[in-house]
Copies of this chain bind each other. A is one copy, B any other.
């Protein structure tokens, strides 16, 4: 039994959404509509990419699975960021990268706590793995913040923002490859389902969703600027909230479902791991990739963005170290995210 009825349904839904996004794009629909349809299509494609990489991971053994999942799992976000860089939307890319870490460390964790707490009361979690991932996220956030802090506080290094960003990106990427075997693969043992798809099916799905994701990302980025203008939101807000949430929709849903099923340790691992991969892999890859574009992507973020990143990572660690979650704690995490998001609503 290769492809199940549910798989077919998902493929059909994703296909329909891609078609709708194409229609909106080529029929010159209003930017807000094009933008919204493309965002939903990206989330559906991200889900398919996730399923296909999981199938591929089962075949190649758990040691290589981590590499594949990390690399391909972030494919939709990578496409969006590359197209946005091509358009010179550096601020959107920066906000989306930092926003992914903030959204996972605070908002998604908060929603997971509420979902888990409402059904199961106080949830306790104590896995060293969850604490370790939270610690690593704080460290990665601190590394990401250094060029911004150098700039904000007028350190001499501020005059060498590009060099310092490349050093940070190099260190982050080195850390990714060094720590990958131990950390990122370690958690996959919790999902040991056998391969359902044939290798051919997997490769075809992966190729098709990859190509579709590239196209839809292009349309999404094209509609982003006029849509945000229409809605009155700043580019920073669009990246921090809209792109970050659309790009991470799948991991987020999985994490919240795990919490609702009373598996808080695993939920936290999935949610924080998603943040960690953006920091250790996606961000440095984009910094290096931007060398081939007209405008370089540096790690000199708007200062408030870097400070919010540090606060969010620290709060995420605190909440994970706490060892207990309640829905009240979740509500306050969501409240903190709302305030951070609100502070980026206005444009310059």
Give A140 to B332 CA distance when docked, in angstroms.
Answer: 8
Query: Per DSSP, are chain A's interface residues mostly helix, strand or loop, or mixed?
Result: helix
Return chain B residues, CB-CB under 8 Å to A345: 157
- Give min CB distance, A153 to chain B, whole Å: 4
Q: How close is A56's CB to chain B, nearest CB, in angstroms?
A: 25
Question: How many Å lie between the Cα of A236 and that of B280 in the bound state?
Answer: 28
Question: Bound state CA distance, A128 and B315, in angstroms?
Answer: 17
Does A142 lie within 8 Å of B315, measured CB to CB?
yes
Using known A-B contacts A131-B324, A150-B304, A164-B342, determine if residue A311 contacts B142 with beta carbons closer than 8 Å. Answer: yes
* CB-based contact B160/A128 at 8 Å: no
Q: How far is the CA of A54 from the CA of B2 in the complex (A)?
A: 67
Q: 1/0 per residue A279-308: CB within 8 Å of B?
A: 000000000000000000000001110011
A340 is an interface residue with CB less than 8 A from chain B: yes
- A40 → B minimal CB distance (Å): 27
Query: Complex: how many Å from CA A128 to CA B328?
Result: 14
Which residues of the other chain, B, contact A149 by a CB distance below 8 angstroms?
A: 304, 307-308, 343
Contacting residues, chain B, for A167 (C-beta < 8 A): 338-339, 342
Give the residues in chain B near A236, CB-CB below 8 Å.
Answer: 156
Any B CB within 8 A of the CB of A255: no
Contact between A346 and B160, CB atoms less than 8 A apart: yes
Q: A143-B339, A160-B346, A175-B335 are in contact. List 14 more A-B contacts (CB 8 A).
A: A122-B128, A128-B323, A131-B322, A135-B329, A139-B332, A142-B336, A149-B308, A152-B153, A153-B307, A155-B304, A157-B304, A157-B346, A178-B331, A314-B314
